[in-house]
Amino acid sequence: MALKIKPIGEVVEGRAEVADDYWGGVESVIQLDESEFPLDSVQGLEEFSHLVVVWHFDQASPSDVEYHARSPRGNTQWPATGTFAHRNHRRPNQLAQSFPRLIKVDGLRLHVTDLDAVVGTKIYDLSSYFEEMGPRGTIREPAWPGEMLTDYWAKKS
């Protein structure tokens, strides 16, 4: 059975252009659907520093999904890895998750930074980030993600 979901909100302020890098310092606003959610649906959220935001790469083409192994960003200096080793729009459902810092709650407008989604992006779920629900144990990863993402959170010059 297919899952049917509808957006709960949208990114209404922030970065407008899609890009691979330089997301540092970008402040965004997520507007939750006012016809769907009462103000108290965000009650207590301001006490958390970070959110978990699930969003859709809605500006990417479904025909761009790739299931085969490929080098990240087309850079053959990095090893070819499968779809599920990547965190880009070429995923089966083109869903992403980000962990932005919550700056403030203004009614159903959530002001955040480090949300790597552009204006117009549909938000499908969000929750507060619980440190206790984060990764447990030692984090392990190959060198290429760190190399690839060197400028990801850098400020655009």
Count Cα atoms within 13 angstroms, Cβ side, for 36: 8
Structural contact between residues 30 and 123, judged by C-beta atoms closer than 8 angstroms: yes
* CA–CA gap between residue 26 and residue 58 (Å, rounded): 19
For the stretch 42-73, pLDDT in tens is 999 999 999 999 999 888 878 888 888 988 88
pLDDT the model gives residue 20: 78
Q: Residue 127 has what pLDDT?
A: 98
**113 three-class SS:** strand
What tens digit of pLDDT does each residue of 118-136 get? 999 999 999 999 999 999 9
| Helices marked H in the chain | 143-148
Q: What is the structure's pLDDT at 88? A: 82
User: Which domains, from first to last, does the chain contain?
Assistant: 10-132+139-148 (2.40.30.70)
| pTM, 2 dp | 0.90
Neighbours of 5 (CB within 10 A): 11
Largest CA distance in the chain: 50
Characterize 60-70 residue by residue with b for buried, 16 or more Cβ atoms within 10 angstroms of its Cβ, and e for exposed.
Answer: beeeeeeeeeb
Structure token digits, residue 50: 């970070």
Token couple for 135: 């990764």
pLDDT for the residue 109: 98
Starting at the edge strand found earlier in the chain, the sheet holding 9-13 runs 95-98, 51-56, 122-128, 9-13, 27-32, 109-113, 101-106
